[in-house]
Amino acid sequence: MITMRQRAGNVALLVLGGAVGAIAAFGLARVLEIRLAEEALLRYAQDTLHVVDSSAAELDAGLNKVAQDGLPFCSDDEIALMRRIVYQAAFVKDLGRTRDGRLYCTSGLGRISKPPPMPAPVLSFYSANQGAQVEIMPDNALALAPSARGFIAELRGVTAVLNPALYASLNDPPMYVSGMVRDTQHQVVAPAFGRPTPLSTGEVLAGKLLERGGTMYQPLCDNVRAICVIATETRADMLARRRGVFISFPATTVIFSVAGGVLGLSIASSIVLFYHRQRSLERRLRRAIRNRQIVCAYQPVVDLATNAVVGAEALARWTDDSGESIPPDVFIPVAEDKGFIGAVTRLVLDRVLEDMRSLLIDGGFQVTLNLSSSDLGDPRFFAHLEAGLWRTSIPARSIGFEITERATALHTEGQAGIAKLRAAGHMVYLDDFGTGYSSLSYLHDLHADAIKVDRAFTRTVGTEAVTASVVPNILEMACQLGLGIVVEGIETVEQAEYFRRACPAARGQGWLFGRPVPALEFKFQQRMRSPSAPQSAASAETPPLDSGSER
């Protein structure tokens, strides 16, 4: 029989449990809401950075085209050229020519009888991409419309004006965006557009979410161009957009308090569990593999001596059911850690054989794809490879394989797998060469056919970086060992020329020659490609994120 004291204790425990449950449910919901709101702010920053990057690319292209036109200064022909560029541009609204700090002609005004002085630059820095000094005047009155203000940039005596309304259109209340230009050499940033920001230079360049006075700031900088954006939103607005299930505490009776607490805990727990179950990356990835939603993008590989496209690297791409693009450096490690990377590899192989059969079947073109350590020791992979080549009549030499440092970690298994691939007629490449502890020590034992020089070394060409001195040693060692060379991350003509002179037999890969695109677009580009000139990075379409863990 339950005594009154025990009954009172049970009631107290129920009340306490309900209260704790309600508080816990409220806290979990709150944390989830904040996290979702922060992710939305980050996506907004990424989207706006993409637009700003596109405008900067168009601005660079316009400046360079006029600077290199070879036409007489402010001649009718040069003014007509500037007008054609502006007419075709989406973001650039005016182009002009300057000399000795004065503006002599523009696409909108023609030749100016009394050349006005140019405004003083807010930021002046040397651009490695342009190979010249760039001067930035982010908020100045425009010669074409003095009542309007716009973003002005000057390069080699050519000035360009971006659409003054462009950056205002990027605001998406209650989220707002500010822009900054940066001098990467001196680590200096200056305001370009939008609202003033309280963040320091170091905080902007760090790119981490910060809070100041109840307002959230998400800075994001471009890795190539000298631009940064800062997305802002008040914490109150963030939560208002993500209002979810919140728990109230009825104060009338103990029973309602307990019931509300238990119900709140149950609902919040169910929501969190459901959310994590649906959002589980592993589950989503397994489902994507079953539904064959992993596709491939192809980046060209060229013969540096001739600029002819001789192959491509297949890079895995995944867009989930919600339309979100998941980067390879996110989903590939998950597949490796959970032990089903082989399924991804086999699906990528199937895609390559289906997508590129017309280019591969005569053996004169080669597509490479990445393998993991488990693939090298997996009999299912080798059986799948053999069956796929037999089914499509594609010769083994048309399919190459790239082995990363992770794959070479299993030394004995790696050697046996590589030997088996080479015996079957496939070329084997050691990817990201020189960046890891194992690459140098394993090179002799693994018997690879070629090395892929990592982009970290490519970027040092023409700089004073310490690693630049390593590049000639890598090339010399590869030549002495009779290894082929593929140079990754070539983005400038200067880099291509350096490796062409240093190693005429080398091949190159990078944005200078083309960005990763779907198979149909890749094959169309090859039909349209001029054999004498690589595609410039400025004219290439913006690809999905190109990261180091791509397959």
CATH assignment of the domain containing 363: 3.20.20.450
- C-alpha 125: how far from its chain's center? 25
pLDDT at residue number 415: 80
Could you tell me the sign of the dihedral formed by the alpha carbons of 545, 546, 550, 551, in that order?
Answer: positive
Q: Which residue, among 66, 490, 123, has the nearest Cα to 301 in the 3D structure?
A: 490
- In this structure, what DSSP letter does residue 172 have? B
Contact 546, 516 (CB under 8 A): yes
Please give the pLDDT value at position 31: 67
Residue at 337 is within a domain = yes
pLDDT of residue 441: 55
Angle, helices 328-337 vs 341-355, to 10°: value is 130
Determine the number of helices (DSSP H) and then strands (DSSP E) in the chain. Answer: 18, 21
Residue 69, SS3 per DSSP: coil
Q: In what order do the strands lie in the sheet with 215-221?
A: 188-193, 176-183, 227-234, 215-221, 210-212
Cis-peptide into 174, omega within 30 deg = yes
Task: Mark whether 275 and 293 lie in a shared domain.
Answer: no
Query: Are residues 289 and 253 both part of a single domain?
Result: no
Output the pLDDT for position 190.
81
Amino acid present at 99: R
Q: Is residue 295 part of a domain?
A: yes
Please say which residue of 226, 253, 279 terminates a domain.
279
Same-domain check for residues 517 and 371: yes
Do residue 287 and residue 371 come from a single domain?
A: yes
> Domain ends where: 244, 279, 314?
279
Structure tokens at 225: 């161009």
In a domain, 538, yes or no: no
Q: Quote the CA–CA distance of 551 and 540 in Å, as a whole number.
A: 21
Whether 534 is covered by a domain: the verdict is: no
Is the pTM higher than 0.95? The answer reads no
Q: Are residues 85 and 127 in the same domain?
A: yes
Whether residues 513 and 396 share a domain: the answer is yes
Separation of CA 135 from chain center: 27
Residues 268 and 289 in one domain: no
Do both 257 and 213 map to the same domain?
Answer: yes
261 and 286 housed in the same domain: no
Q: Are residues 178 and 90 in the same domain?
A: yes
* Tokens coding 74: 């402010």
Residue 416 host element (H or E): helix 411-423
CA-CA-CA-CA dihedral for 438, 443, 444, 449, to nearest 10 = 160
Say if residue 301 is in the same domain as residue 373.
yes
Q: How far apart are CA 370 and CA 439, in angstroms?
A: 16
DSSP secondary structure of 495-512 = HHHHHHHH-TT-EE-STT
* Amino acid code (one letter) for 114: K
pLDDT, residue 312, reads 96
* Number of domains the chain is built from: 2
pLDDT score recorded for residue 455 = 87
From CA 346, how far away is CA 382, in angstroms rounded? 10
First to last CA, the chain: 69
Residue 506 lies in a domain: yes
What are the distances in angstroms from CA 383 to CA 4, 148, 207, 326, 369?
A: 74, 67, 46, 29, 17
- Compute the distance between CA of residue 249 and CA of residue 320 in angstroms, rounded to an integer: 39
Q: Can you give the residue range of the structural domain that contains 38?
A: 1-279
Low-confidence stretches of the chain (pLDDT < 70) are 1-33, 128-130, 144, 184, 241-279, 405-413, 434-445, 464-469, 529-551
The amino acid at residue 47 is D
Q: How are beta strands 450-453 and 484-487 bridged, if at all?
A: parallel
Query: What's the pLDDT score for residue 165?
Result: 77
- Residue 542 in any domain: the answer is no
Query: Three-state DSSP class for 158?
Result: strand
Residues 6+ apart with CB under 8 A from 349: 369, 384, 385, 388, 399
On whether the CB atoms of residues 232 and 175 are closer than 8 A, the answer is: yes
Q: Is 4 exposed, middle or buried (0-12, 13-18, 19+ CB in 10 A)?
A: exposed
Residue 194 confidence (pLDDT): 81
Same domain, 237 and 379: no
| DSSP-derived 3-state class of residue 72 | coil
pLDDT for the residue numbered 545 = 37
Q: How far apart are CA 536 and CA 530, in angstroms?
A: 12
Integer Cα distance of 491 and 314 in angstroms? 19
